[in-house]
Amino acid sequence: MGSDPRARQIAKGDRRVLARALTQAENGSGDIDLLLAAIEHGTAHRVGITGAPGVGKSTLVSALTRAWRAQDRKVGILAVDPSSPFTGGALLGDRVRMVEHTGDEGVFIRSLATRGALGGLAPGVYDAADLLDAGGFDPVVIETVGVGQAELEICRAADTTVLVLAPGAGDEVQGMKAGLLEAADVLVVNQADRDGAQALATALEAALDLRQADRPRPPVLLTTATAAKGIDALCDVLDERARDADGALADRRVERAAARVRAALYRRLDHYVEGRGAELAAAAARIAAGESTAAVEAELLMDDYE
């Protein structure tokens, strides 16, 4: 752990310091990079919960949290909400649905706005998960907004990706085979008390037969989160994943670190380009006039990059 006093305060459980740090991580403001370099990076299990709107993701997260708290485990939750069209902030829908946990010191819930980010994730979610990890929260749950197949970004941010479906989604299974269904580590049919739940589970099993043979076959579980049915079995599956007997989590974390390095490089390049507005405009004019090409102008702009 570095010398930043905030790192020690977060490790000791100071929720106010953690909350301020999460705000900085979300906004990319202040000296957040210094803090991130100073915190103790733990090994909290990062569980991604994704799926279409209306399948009960937030209810499932709430039920999981209740089960984990019964085991005296501290749970961090990053609920990625749609952005307000007026303020750009999170609309807080997920946090409202998990209100039963808001007074529990062993649970930290933070809503993050997508701010137009592709893939269903907020830009600061990686750093926010690091901060919750440093605060002793394990597992750290990342719930996405549920925008469909574009949400593959969650597979990079999480150690374990749980795809949640509900009866009525059977017709969509065929279209999922090349997307989230292919990438998910655990499949959950929620609202299993409704007609069609078993049929959907059977359709998922059939679709998994077409999954690449070299990838582990994800379990298909049935839950009714509102009645806490099937939650213990899901917790057991997630705990088994966290033990990482086959080294899959270690590999996933290396992949995530590489993705974060690439993202940091892209951000630096974006900042560099944003500061070269006049040169960019002149380059665009030359290209439009047929006097140059995009490749040539890009090379010229990069000559001054340090």
Please write the tens of the pLDDT for every residue from 87-111: 344 444 445 556 777 788 999 999 8
CATH architecture label of 42-244: 3-Layer(aba) Sandwich (3.40)
Burial of 24 (0-12, 13-18, 19+ CB in 10 A): buried
Confidence of residue 27 (pLDDT cuts 50, 70, 90): confident
More confident residue, 150 or 228: 228
pLDDT-derived band at 150, boundaries 50, 70, 90: very low
**Res. 35: pLDDT tops 60:** yes
Q: What pLDDT is stored for residue 22 in this prediction?
A: 94
Burial (CB count within 10 angstroms: exposed 0-12, middle 13-18, buried 19+), residue 294? exposed
Pick the residue with more confidence: 146 or 11? Answer: 11
Selection from 188, 158, 230, 155 nearest residue 55 by Cα: 188
pLDDT tier, 86 (very low <50, low <70, confident <90, very high otherwise)? very low
Question: For the whole model, what pTM was predicted?
Answer: 0.84
Question: In this predicted structure, what is the pLDDT of residue 97?
Answer: 57
pLDDT for residue 144 is more than 90: no
The 10s digit of each residue's pLDDT in 253-267 is 898 888 888 877 887
Kindly state the average pLDDT of the residues 248-254: 88
Q: Is pLDDT of 163 > 50?
A: yes
